[in-house]
Chain A
Amino acid sequence: MWEYAIVVVILLAAVAGAIYSLYRILTGRSKHHCSHCPMKNNCESNRRQ
């Protein structure tokens, strides 16, 4: 039973994490792609943070 409890917690965390990641991406807050960006040091979305 305890295994199910751990799995449920991990699942909930994963769902929350996925939703949070999507939220950050869709609102331009994610910096995941900045390493390729020629304007990474001074872009508007970076400064907004």
Chain B
Amino acid sequence: MNNKHLIVALAGNPNSGKTTVFNAITGARQHVGNYPGVTVEKKTGVATHDGVRLEVVDLPGTYSLTAYSVEEVVARNVLLDEKLDVVVAIVDSSNLERNLYLATQLMELSVPLVLAFNMSDVAEGRGYNIDDDKLSKLLGVPIVKTVGHKGKGVAELLDTVMAVARNDQAVASQRHPNYGGEIEPHIRQLTELVAEKCDKHRPRWFAVKLLENDEVTIKRLRQMCGEHVEELLAEAGRLRRHIEKICGDAAEIILADRRYGFISGACTESVTHSVETRHERSDRIDSVMTNRYLGLPIFALLMFLVFQLTFFMGNPLANKLDGWGGNLAKGVSGLWGESGADSVLRSLLVEGVIEGVGAVLVFVPLIMLLFLAIAVLEDSGYMARAAFVIDRLMHKIGLHGKSFIPMLIGFGCTVPGIMATRTLETRRDRITTILVLPLMSCGARLPIYVLILGAFFPERVFNLFGVFDVTNQALWLFGIYVIGIVLAIIWAKVFRETLLKGEATPFVMELPPYRMPTLKGLATHMWERTWMYIKKAGTIILAIVIVLWALASWPKLNEQEQAVFARQRAVVQAGAHAGAEQTAELLKKIDAAEHEAELEHSAIGRIGKTIAPALAPCGFDWKISTALLGAFAAKEVFVGQMGVIYSVGEEADEQSEPLREKLQKHYTPLVGFCIMLFCLVSMPCMVTVAVTVREAGWRWAILQVTYLTVMAWVLTTIVYQVGSRLV
């Protein structure tokens, strides 16, 4: 900046009062001409403020910086080519959202910016209450309220202009609209390519324009970077097609939607009494969805409906798959004929692979439905509202609602949830969110819940408010998810009050307009995530289950121990005093006792017996204890391991029972609930720990594992001890 001379441009929508502000600043010292080559009026003027000469350029009135009209192109060229010290965006306060669209584009252009909220008297008269301090923090741009025709606020505006011109960090502190998970990575990718091949000053702006297929920008890039432009265009074309395929609309429309989402989010936080009409339909829906009183109950109701749908439609399919798995086990077992009981290969295939991996795979229909429901909520734009609704709650605990977005991703899988915390700006917010993220029930825990609910909480359908039928299982599942959210909120508060003290940073919660999800987008999202589940079952879980089968099968009982059971059998068979039915019953009991002894004698039995005393107060025996230990590798392993433990040594015949029935025989519903609670709260899976180490460091990862496991033990023990005394 030249200390004595500043060049300032005024940009704004037509009828935003730009000319009145221009007149108020420059008075009569104006010059009117034309921009070269076009018949667009060029107005410049001069003013002096605090001894500094200000050369003011009045840019043509435009609604945006796209290249649809000659005024827009002219305004854009001035902004890109001229050496401007500060740009003042004149915003009609009574039509805030539409006017801020141009402002967000100026922010993307990385120019030193001041927002003049003009016609503030009209806005107040219409009942708008704009918290300009808050909005300024959210946007990272100074805001001055003005009334152009009265000259009100003009002196403050010029003070701010000078302060911004002197501030080297003015551009760096501005916030850009976030274009969302599907698009933002493409923009970053293209930004890097533009910076590498072409322009280092405004690579992001050029990247966005390339995705919008902006012809004027392409022409400009051809002049700037020559041969490299074809490479940029090819890459931009590829990314644009991907965006259009996933989002089901032209890229420029999607990008514009996201910008309005950014503005809408900022305004909803800082303007009360808004009667904006631009996003009329979305706003009308939002007036209910994000309502102060209705928002949370609606969020809870939608979550419940997701579980209801998952159970209602998924359970019959899962039962069918379970039946097919049983038939497959019988079929494979049948290959060995009568002599198959002692075959080690049969045991590996049937009791290890089919029972172990099968126990995980039967839940694929439920997983598909859960991910489909999540995809509908995401693609329709509701998830952003859910984060917005939770925002109020999050503020109270010192976090921003934006922290809830990684948590929502955590419902699918904790690992990408942790990665998504990179979008949070302060380390304090990131660490707090990472620490509590495992309390969001991930998809891998769903099979555990469904197994337990199916075993101990038989389906009962009842009518809610005389409107629709609900199942008790969906209610239990909903309860478990809510317990996780409540614990996460409590612990976030604890961390923010102790280890991670500090002010919450301002963020804009993007509220993109509601969209009708495309079938292709939904199918892609659902299938990608379901495939991950199936792939995991077929790779790492298969490998672990085979190892667990070996640990559950060896070492075998020694000859003396086997002889004890053989003698018992001989005595029963020789006993002529009993009837055939009683003999069969006694033989069955001896078989079960031998099976139990074999398991206890095996490596897994020994490990289980060693750790079981520590978990006995929670109501868990050695079998559950080992399965919980196995769940550290991946949560689904709990289900696979129970499948293996309860099938090793058993023959898959007509009498074979599904795993749920076996569990029902051995444990009470209280123990079932304790298993769900422990799995929800206890240490996360190994991958989560590894990612936490990478993203936050060893110290925080150790703290995460420790506090979660201790809390799980304490909570489950309390529930079990109190519950067993009451029941």
Query: Which residues on A are within 8 Å of B, measured CB to CB?
Result: 3-4, 6-7, 10-11, 14-15, 17-18, 21-22, 25-26, 28, 30, 32-43
B49 CB within 8 Å of chain A: no
Residue B7 is within 8 A (CB to CB) of chain A in the complex: no
B687 touches A38 (CB 8 A): no
- CB-based contact A36/B687 at 8 Å: no
> What is the distance, in angstroms, from B478's C-beta to the closest C-beta of chain A?
21
Interface residues on B, range: 35 or more
Question: Within 8 Å of chain A (Cβ to Cβ): is B544?
Answer: yes
CB-contact partner of A34 in B416, B536, B546, under 8 A: B416
Bound together, the chains give a CA A7 to CA B343 distance in angstroms of: 11
Q: Are A41 and B189 in contact, CB atoms less than 8 angstroms apart?
A: yes
Query: Is B188 engaged at the interface, CB distance under 8 Å to the other chain?
Result: yes
Minimum distance in angstroms from B239 CB to a CB of chain A: 9
Partner of A14, one of B416, B528, B543, B686: B543
Residue pair A18, B543 in contact (C-beta under 8 Å): yes
Whether the pair B181, A38 counts as a contact (CB closer than 8 A) is yes
**B539 touches which of A10, A21, A28, A40 (Cβ 8 Å):** A21
Stretch from B19-27, B407-415, B467-475, B503-511 at the A interface: B407-415
Distance in angstroms from B430 CB to nearest chain A CB is: 14
Give the residue of A7, A14, A25, A38 whose beta carbon is less than 8 angstroms from that of B344.
Answer: A7
Shortest B681–chain A CB gap in Å is 21
Closest to A25 in B: B687
Give the A-B pair count, Cβ closer than 8 A: 99
Q: Which residues of A contact B686 (CB under 8 A)?
A: 22, 25-26
A21 CB, nearest partner CB in chain B, Å: 4
* Chain B residues whose C-beta falls within 8 Å of the C-beta of A42 in the assembled complex: 185-186, 188-189
Q: How far is the CB of B541 from the nearest CB of chain A, in Å? A: 10
Contacts of A6 in B (CB 8 A): 345
Secondary structure class of chain A's binding surface, majority of residues: helix
Nearest Cβ on chain A to B601's Cβ, whole angstroms? 19
A sample of 15 cross-chain residue pairs with beta-carbon separation below 8 angstroms, ordered by A number, consists of A6-B345, A21-B539, A26-B690, A28-B691, A32-B540, A35-B529, A36-B409, A36-B413, A38-B416, A38-B420, A39-B181, A40-B185, A40-B416, A41-B185, A41-B189
Nearest chain A CB to B81's CB is how many angstroms away? Answer: 31
Q: Is the CB of B542 within 8 A of A14?
A: yes
Contacts of B415 in A (CB 8 A): 33, 36-37
- Does B419 contact A39, Cβ atoms closer than 8 Å? yes
Residue of B nearest to A34 (CB): B416
Cα A25 to Cα B546 with chains together (Å): 19
Q: Does B392 make an interface contact (CB < 8 A)?
A: no
Which B residues lie within 8 Å of A39 (CB)?
Answer: 181, 184-185, 416, 419-420, 422
The chain B residue with its CB closest to the CB of A41 is B185
Indicate if the CB atoms of A36 and B412 lie closer than 8 Å.
Answer: yes
Interface centre among B184, B188, B542, B687 (most CB of A within 10 A): B687
Residues of chain A contacted by B531 (CB below 8 angstroms):
35
For B535, give its contact among A10, A18, A32, A38 (CB under 8 Å).
Answer: A32
- Min C-beta distance of B649 to chain A, whole Å: 16
B320 within 8 A of A: no
